[in-house]
Structure 1
Amino acid sequence: MDKLKKKGSDEVSYNDDYLSNDNLNINWYPGHMKKTKELVQNNLKLVDVVIELLDARIPLSSKNPDIDKLVGSKPRIVLLNKSDLCKKEDLDEWVQYYLNLGIKAIPINAMNGNGINKVISECREVSKETMEKFIQKGRKARAIRIMIVGVPNVGKSSLINKLSGKKSTQTGDRPGITKGKQWVKIKGDMELLDTPGILWPKFDNQEVAVNLAFTRAIKDEILDIETLGLKLIERISDLAPEDLIKRYKIDEVGPQPIDTMEAIGKKRGFLVGKNELDYTRIALTVLNEFREGKIGNITLEKPSNISENLEK
């Protein structure tokens, strides 16, 4: 490994410069995402309500900055998905933040359906004025039309399946599963226009890009997994060190992220040969266990971070 250099048979040093923001060099904008943005623009006039689906662990990073401009004054609901992986007090902060903006934010779990009934009732509420005007014009009542937007792997397909009460779309823990436009009938005489996930042309803020990589909105296959895992260990060491200690049964978080990474590897017995640690396996384990909530309920962003992150 270039970044993890052996100094002896079992001693490893880490080049701290490798932790700088530019090392992952995330700059990703597949062609289908450009097409999806155009799809949203072209079909927005057909819908009554826009559901913006965010990852509750990273509401800022999982928010597409193009959405505000695209949606404009169209009625919008924010859903904080994967809320089961966050602490309640952190969720409450985000709900209040959006309330201050005049937007209803609803914590949900798209996998088990928690919060789905609130989503349906809120869609009815925010579209009430539009539906009343529709009828006042002497036109026949129709289903409320909804569009869901969100970055890849945020849980759109799972949400649609819960809203429709059946398996209408393909799901998977890989970004980019949903490929094209789909109209889906959902509960309460509503229709939903699904779109693939959208990312933006470039990541001006690499911290945002790394947060998306932590939650697998960006494919692991295009990243340096060892560095990504190390960055996650560094972040959790700052936010919730006790969770790392408890999960991996280590004595303490080390003075450097690499020390903690090696302690985890030794506890788990992740070795190649007699003395060399398997850093790839350590990184993948920490990443996957964070994504599954096994390390603890950890929110990587809070409303207090917003001005700081946007101004970087």
Structure 2
Amino acid sequence: MVNNKIQWFPGHMHKARKEIEEVVPKIDVIIEVLDARIPFSSENPLIRTLRGDKPVIKVLNKRDLADPAMTDIWMTHLEQEQGVSAMAITTQQQSEVNRIMERCRALAPHREAMGKNIRSMIMGIPNVGKSTIINSLAGRVIAKTGNQPAVTRQQQRINLQNGVVLSDTPGILWPKVENPHSGFRLAATGAVKDTAMDYDEVAFYTVEYLASAYPERLQERYQLDDLPETEIELMEAIGAKRGCLRAGGRVDIHKASEILLHDLRAGALGGITLEAPDMIETELVQVEEETARREAEKAANKEARRKRYLKNKR
């Protein structure tokens, strides 16, 4: 099942990358907003290449929707990278949002010592709550918010009037999600539009993981005594419990998929994290192996074409 890839890089995002490359040398701290449920999949690998030696604050937003124990594991993991500081917040608590500015000051004390504003840049893929954080920090509506990806379209500088100037950037999703697992997780949490991938396939992938990692949550939410062995049977059981029936009593899988993904995104299943550091390590090895296999196949096909050409030329 895990063979889908998202390729979703609108023109305005390509432009945003160019703008970021120009601005990064002029800033002191980078703030990257992540979804606490998918810290790796919502992380943008472009930032690692664009940041240079700038300190980075990884803000795991929506911690209230994530598994607290897994959030702690992820913060420890992220801070293993040089110059990275991690913190978990929910925008439901203003005091937690304010900690971002405290962390900025701690990472750029030289600017305050000189009486100058700390220049920060906030980044994040679509729908991680970046705009809500900006509005909370500014104390007024600066950025549009919405539950659909890619609301912010142009870069803007915001003086927070507290010694920090914030550069906002359009939500960037990288050119190609090489890890297919990440593609499904991004779709499950709503980081990409529901039309970007097959909706039912996303639900199948998600429910299979939940049955493995959080079986009791599924049983409690959908009043299931036992969990079926396959993801299709499980989705049918959820659909039957929720009355998603077509003529003849058949389960409407699409409606059942909508219910599951809505419940996940709304936190109705409790705090859930869809990935762990050790899972990611295994997946990245698989991605490397698959990439190498495709490259070898491509080279072999090219050589075969060359030989056919030379043979026909004789």
TM-score under structure 1 normalisation? 0.87
CA drift of 1:111 comes to: 4.2
Aligned CA RMSD, in angstroms, stands at 1.6
Aligned residue in 2 for 1:16: none
Aligned residue in 1 for 2:60: 80
Aligned residue in 2 for 1:109: 90
CA distance in 1, matches of 2:80, 2:45: 19
8 Å Cα contact 1:83-1:109 kept in structure 2: yes
SS class of match (2:45): coil
8 Å Cα contact 1:111-1:158 kept in structure 2: no
Matched, 1:256 2:236: no
For residue 174 of structure 1, the aligned residue among 129, 148, 157 is 148
Supply the AA of the counterpart residue of 2:85. Answer: K
CA distance in 1, matches of 2:206, 2:78: 27
Aligned residue in 1 for 2:160: 186
Aligned residue in 2 for 1:70: 50
CA distance in 1, matches of 2:32, 2:143: 18
Write the mapping of 1:218-297 to structure 2, written as runs, cut at 5 A.
218-297=192-271
CA distance in 2, matches of 1:98, 1:225: 30
For residue 25 of structure 2, the aligned residue among 45, 64, 72 is 45
CA spacing shift, 1:100–1:252, aligned 2, 3 Å? same
8 Å Cα contact 1:78-1:106 kept in structure 2: yes
Supply the AA of the counterpart residue of 2:127. Answer: N
Give every structure 1 segment of 4 or more consecutive aligned residues whose post-TM-superposition deviation is greater than 4 Å.
none
CA drift of 1:255 comes to: 0.7
Supply the AA of the counterpart residue of 1:161. Answer: N
CA drift of 1:210 comes to: 1.0
8 Å Cα contact 1:50-1:147 kept in structure 2: yes
Alignment coverage as a number of residue pairs: 285
SS class of match (2:159): strand
CA drift of 1:21 comes to: 1.7
CA distance in 1, matches of 2:102, 2:285: 36
CA drift of 1:115 comes to: 1.5
CA drift of 1:309 comes to: 2.6
CA drift of 1:107 comes to: 0.3
Supply the AA of the counterpart residue of 1:82. Answer: K
Aligned residue in 1 for 2:107: 126
* Larger proportion of helix: 2
8 Å Cα contact 1:165-1:187 kept in structure 2: no
CA distance in 2, matches of 1:175, 1:183: 21
CA distance in 1, matches of 2:194, 2:93: 25
Task: Give percent identity, aligned residues only.
Answer: 37
Aligned residue in 1 for 2:273: 299
1:208-245 deviation per Cα after TM superposition (whole angstroms, max 9, x unaligned) = 11111111111102321111111111111111011011
SS class of match (2:79): helix
Supply the AA of the counterpart residue of 1:300. Answer: L
CA drift of 1:76 comes to: 1.3
Matched, 1:29 2:9: yes
Aligned residue in 2 for 1:17: none
1:116-167 deviation per Cα after TM superposition (whole angstroms, max 9, x unaligned) = 12211110010113454xx3xxxxx332111011111111101101111112
SS class of match (2:98): helix
Aligned residue in 1 for 2:291: none
The answer to which of 105-114 and 237-246 deviates more is 105-114
